[in-house]
Structure 1
Amino acid sequence: MSNVFRVRLLLDFMAVALLITCLAYWWLDNLSHELFGTALLTLVVVHNVFNRRWYGSVAKARFDVVRIVNILIIVGLALGMTILLVTSFLISRDLFAFMALDGGFAVREIHMFAGYWVILIIALHLGARWTVVMSVFRGMLGMTDRNPARTITLRGAVAVIAVWGVRSSFEMAFGAKLMLTYSLDMWDFNASTLGFFVNYASIVGLYAAVTHYVLGVVRLRIRAFGAV
């Protein structure tokens, strides 16, 4: 893999970190939240510039279930990020206050709910591209040979992250937030700031792992029985 691709991957992980940071609104002041959000949206633009050739290749590619799922995930991500962008302008109090609406309670709710959906869709996108991600890391670390012990260790780590992600999904009321319903939970940042980030990182890991392994099974079925 080229150094450019590695930089792209690093920027993508930075974008995920920024999104999780933006979810910690009550830990940040509003200006910091808007600065992190602006940096996130800038990285999204950079991501799309790097991947601009993909859009032209979509119509030419052979379609199967895996590719259709990938396209649907990307469309969902584009929609979610667009909603975040538009609503962020409409509720801005610092950087883009001149574009804000008076009041805007409903817009704030849409902005918040879109943020949770984007974290989920990013996790699905990461899982769909996990084979590429791991290939890059193996190249960077010089892991060219197959090592059963290392494979078992990594899969064990994934299992631990997934279990923690299930626990975190309940602790953070993630499902309720995705269903656009209110939850009474409020994370106590005075008690544990790190816990907030670990919980959401594990949620991303959970859904990325599920997506990766489900699509892996689908690929095996395609190879065994032909295009699905």
Structure 2
Amino acid sequence: MKWTSIIKISIDVAMYLLFLLLMGQYLLRDAPHEWLGVTAGILFILHNIFNYKWYTAIFKGRYNAIRIAQTAVNLLLLLTVFGCMLSGIFSSQYIFSVGNGGTIELGRFLHLVTTAWAFILMSVHLGLHWTNFIGIAQKITINPKTQIFFRWFFRLIVIFLCIYGVYLFIDRRFWEELFHLIDYQKEYDESKTFLIYLMESVIMSSLFTAVTYYIKKFALYKKQSHRKKTD
């Protein structure tokens, strides 16, 4: 594996983990939350620098349904993450402290909504590119029977994660953050530890990642079936 690929993967993993940590704001507050946000923002900028070729090719080639969907998700994710960064600066109380009362309130409003949408879009983006990770795993040589076992084992895990992810989405009333149906200071279950809240965020993210992956896989299957019929 090339060193550039290793760096890109390391940046993506670190950025994903930081975003999950930032989702637990009520447990990791104030200055630590802001410093983690700044770090995640820097990693996001580096991610885009390393993937600059995507921008140079955006107006090239033909667009099918899958490419349209991927482009839309990427642009919306770019917009929401920049929204997170700007609103975080406006509502900052420790690192930047540039806003007044009205600016801080606006920043908090935008930060709640853009963070929630960025969380979902990030998970969808991961699902659209999950085949890359599967391709790496498939290069590992193992016994065919063992391979079948692990394949079904992971499928069962995915089913569990999706079911539990739906439960968490409802239990945490996540739609309230998506559409700002609550005040900035949302009530959280104070009995949950940081580790539990972090794992729940991973599971909820896995729901959107898995659903996106299988929708894309089904779309590619239908496309291949259509080609076979027309050949």
Q: Specify if TM > 0.5.
A: yes
1:61 positional shift: 2.7
Correspondence for 1:105: 105
With over 3 angstroms needed to count, the CA separation of the structure-2 counterparts of 1:78 and 1:191, relative to structure 1, is closer
Gaps of 5+ in 1: none
Deviation, structure 1 residue 82: 1.3
Counterparts of 1:89 and 1:62, CA distance in 2: 39
Q: Name the aligned partner's letter for residue 212 of structure 1.
A: Y
Q: Name the structure 2 match of 1:136.
A: 136
The equivalent residue for 2:115 is 115
* Corresponding residue of 1:180: 180
Q: CA deviation at 1:188?
A: 3.3
Q: Find the counterpart in structure 2 of residue 40 from structure 1.
A: 40
Q: Partners of 2:100 and 2:137 in 1: how far apart?
A: 45
Cα distance in 2 for residues equivalent to 1:108 and 1:122 = 20
Matches within 5 A, 1:1-228: 1-97=1-97, 99-103=98-102, 104-139=104-139, 142-143=140-141, 147-182=147-182, 186-226=187-227
CA shift for structure 1 position 15:
1.1
8 A contact 2:112–2:180 mirrored in 1: no
**Structure 1 residues 36-89: Cα deviation after superposition (integer angstroms, max 9, x where no partner):** 000100110110011001111222233111111000000100110111111111
For 1:29 and 1:206, the matched residues in 2 are separated by: 26
RMSD: 2.0
TM-score, scaled relative to structure 2? 0.88
User: Structure 1 42/192 Cα, relative in aligned 2: closer, same or farther at 3 Å?
Assistant: same
Q: How many residues get paired?
A: 223
8 A Cα contact 1:6 1:136, kept in partner: no
TM-superposed deviation, 1:13? 2.1
How far, CA to CA, are the matches of 2:81 and 2:143 in structure 1?
A: 39
Partners of 1:137 and 1:10 lie apart in 2 by 17
Q: 1:72 to 1:144 in 2, by over 3 A?
A: farther
Q: CA deviation at 1:135?
A: 2.0
Give the TM-score of the pair, scaled to structure 1.
Answer: 0.90
Retained in 2: the 8 A contact 1:172–1:185?
no
Distance 1:123 1:145, change over 3 A: farther
After superposition, the C-alpha distances for 1:96-144 in whole angstroms (9 at most, x for unaligned) are 11x32334213211111110100000010000000012223445xx347
